[in-house]
Structure formats: structure tokens, C-alpha cells
Homo-oligomer: A and B are copies of this chain.
């Protein structure tokens, strides 16, 4: 909100938001660093100081994404089906983050800002799968099955492949769908 002089004062956040906006509109690679810098009113190399390079900016997006994501599914409660719904809700509400997070070739997945958050999220999913699984030996399989269902629905929805369902609230659809596939487990 401040008037910028030579020093912007908030460039990191502004660039991140600009990137998220651009990603939502044109996909994770459909924009240029220079364009973002222009909109932020700074020179085209200013962002380098905060992110290093374009990959660094995407790494920051992924890191923030995994943080938000872990929080979102963590606060979904005990019922693993609601975790799945929260998964889909996150993908829809934070589509830019989501579209970067699961394309590791776009960023540096081993970055110390990314890996911990990702592992935290993976742990939450694994715990949920364990609680859902009738057979402890198949906990991992159950986790991956439910994860796949939520993830696949989110991807298909975001890609527009489910255009015929565009009218319906994706969360409601996701809940029905998870119930259909995993409701028989208890």
C-alpha cells in the first residue's frame, strides 16, 4: 500500500501474488518474469534479488502452496472423506498453487522451503488412510487410492475435462464421489 520510491518495500509478496494471478489465467508457464515486474512497477531484474530466477519464483509458489495445503487438509477433521473434500476445495480455491505443486519439473522440489511442508502434508494423508483402512497392512494402498481419487477429480475439474458438470459445486460432487468409492469402508 505504500508509495514506492527506489525501494519497493513489498516486492516479494507482490511478485508472488502477480505470479499466482498469471498462473490462474495462463497456466504455470504462460507468462514472463518481465511482464510481472512491469506490472509491479519495477525493473525486470528486481525479482531476481528475491527469488534468484524464474524457477525460484515457482519454488516459492510451491512452498507456499504446500504450507497452505497442509493447513487445509489438517483442519478438515478426522473423517477421511472430509479430508478428500478439503483436498478438492483447496485445488479449486488455490488453483495456481495446486497447478505448480504437482509439477516438480517446474521448480526445485528439494528446496528446504518446500520439502518439509510437502512431507507434513504427506503425513496427514497417510494418517487419514490408516484410519480408513480396515486392514493395517493395506493402509498404504488405501491412502493412495483415496489420494488418487481426490487428486484426479481435482485435476480433471481444473483442466475442464468435466465441463458437463460445470454447473455443480465441485465440493458437493467430490463428497458424493468419495462416498461412492470409499463409503463401504468403515
Contact = CB atoms under 8 A, between A and B. Distances in A.
Main SS class of interface, A: helix
A182 interface: yes
Interface string A70-89: 00000000000000000000
Nearest to A134: B180
Contact of A177 (B145, B151, B164, B165): B145
A7 to B, nearest CB: 34
Interface in A6-61: 26-27, 29-30
A105 interface: yes
A106 B99 CA distance: 14
A28 to B, nearest CB: 9
A145 B181 CA distance: 7
A104 interface: yes
A87 to B, nearest CB: 10
This chain: copies in complex: 2
Contacts of A152: 147-155
Contact of A162 (B30, B142, B144, B154): B144
Nearest to A138: B180
B141 A147 contact: no
A145 B180 CA distance: 8
A4 interface: no
A141 B104 contact: no
B155 A151 contact: yes
A159 to B, nearest CB: 5
Contacts of A148: 148-153, 156, 177
